[in-house]
């Protein structure tokens, strides 16, 4: 039963992660007002926490509730899946750093000013994150069916 609960929490956290990133994409439309900028900061923080939950539940599945550490460590599709997740995490640094730079201005009641280049970079980064997040479940499906097993 515990394995089913851990799997459920893993899937739920993945869905929430995707939903938060989609919401971030929808809200990031320059020019930004104070309310939307504050919402983006909160959503981005929730996104980071949710990514940690995905990682924690995924690690729990690997360590004790899945097919065993040996299966995952010897599976090239698993490594690709984890690699994509890490890449998404690294990409998420771009919007997060921008949002954190807004903190002082927002506390002073000033809406952030975003250059067209910054806006385009953040939008394209979020879209790339969403695309990569869509590939991860495909890799999980392949892995669950035995693809990527070496030896």
Least Cα distance to 119 among 133, 135, 99, 146 occurs for 99
- For residue 107, is it within any domain? yes
Condensed to tens digits (0 to 9), the pLDDT of residues 28-56 reads 998 999 999 999 999 999 999 999 999 99
- Total count of domains within the chain: 1
The CA distances from residue 123 to 64, 85, 98, 118, in Å, are 38, 19, 12, 9
Give the span between the Cα atoms of 89 and 75, in whole angstroms.
21
In a domain, 14, yes or no: yes
Judge whether 55 lies within some domain: yes
Residue 148 lies in a domain: no
Question: Does a structural domain hold residue 147?
Answer: no
Under 8 Å CB-to-CB from 142, ≥6 apart: which residues?
77, 148
Q: Report yes or no on 113 lying in a domain.
A: yes
* Cα angle 80, 85, 88; round to 5: 125
Query: How far, in Å, CA of 134 to CA of 136, rounded?
Result: 6
Question: Does 149 reside within a domain?
Answer: no
CA distance 58 to 79: 13
DSSP string, 23-51: HHHHH--SSPPHHHHHHHHHHHHHHHHHH
In a domain, 150, yes or no: no
Q: Along the 151 residues of the chain, how does pLDDT read in single tens digits?
A: 888 999 899 999 999 999 999 999 999 998 999 999 999 999 999 999 999 999 999 999 888 877 778 888 889 999 999 999 999 999 999 999 999 999 999 999 999 999 999 999 999 999 999 999 999 999 999 988 888 887 6
Task: Give the range of the structural domain holding residue 48, as residue numbers without chain letter.
Answer: 2-142
């Amino acid at each position: 039963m515990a394995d089913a609960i851990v799997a459920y929490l893993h899937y739920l956290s993945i869905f929430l992660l995707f939903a938060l990133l989609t919401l971030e994409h929808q809200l990031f439309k320059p020019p930004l007002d104070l309310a939307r900028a504050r919402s983006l900061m909160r959503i981005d923080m929730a996104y980071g926490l949710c990514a940690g939950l995905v990682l924690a539940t995924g690690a729990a599945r690997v360590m004790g509730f899945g097919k065993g550490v040996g299966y995952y460590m010897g599976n090239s599709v698993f490594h690709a899946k984890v690699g994509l997740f890490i890449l998404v995490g690294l990409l998420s640094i771009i919007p997060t750093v921008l949002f954190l730079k807004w903190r002082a201005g927002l506390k002073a009641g000033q809406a952030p000013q975003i250059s067209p280049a910054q806006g385009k970079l953040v939008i394209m980064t979020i879209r790339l994150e969403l695309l990569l997040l869509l590939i991860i479940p495909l890799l999980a499906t392949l892995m669950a069916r035995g693809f990527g097993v070496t030896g």
